Amino acid sequence: MEEKINTEKPENFIPTLEDIEGRKKAAENLAKNNSNKISKKNQTSSLNIAKLLTNIFNGTFLTSERSVKQWPFVVFLALIGMFYIANSYVAEKKVRKIEQLSKELKDLHSQYITSKAEIMFYTKQSEIAKLSEKYGMIETKEAPHKILMK
């Protein structure tokens, strides 16, 4: 039994105590209905979660019509995942190879510098003279003469 409120002239309308109580009761009824709906939703959602978990543990979710339609997408995701994992392994292997080659390059560079220093040492005139003495060759003390042809 709702009362009709005079909305023709709102500036002259003054709510009475009965109007206020009627609106209060209507609001309480609406709140009760909403709380009942919410509690029913919570109960059904908890039942749905329990049913979903049961289906997962039983394995029946794999054969349901809805999940069978999703299998191509699941397989596609699995393949992408495998490619991603393989790619990370290949990248890690290449990083290790680069580190190994850079260490080897540093070793070879230091060996090159050492060899170059030894060659420079052994190509000095004094060192060549010492080494040639072993074979019976002697360094001359006289300067070479120019032979001029006329």
How does pLDDT run across 114-150, given as a tens digit for each residue?
Answer: 999 999 999 998 888 888 888 888 888 888 888 888 7
Per-residue pLDDT tens for 45-79? 777 888 888 887 887 877 778 878 888 998 999 99
Query: 124 to each of 43, 127, 130, 132, how far by Cα in Å?
Result: 98, 5, 10, 12
DSSP H or E run through 111: helix 65-122
- Give pLDDT, residue 7: 52
Under 8 Å between Cβ of 6 and 13: yes
DSSP H or E run through 45: helix 17-58
Mean pLDDT across the chain: 83
- Give pLDDT, residue 59: 79
DSSP at 126: H
> What is this structure's pTM?
0.45
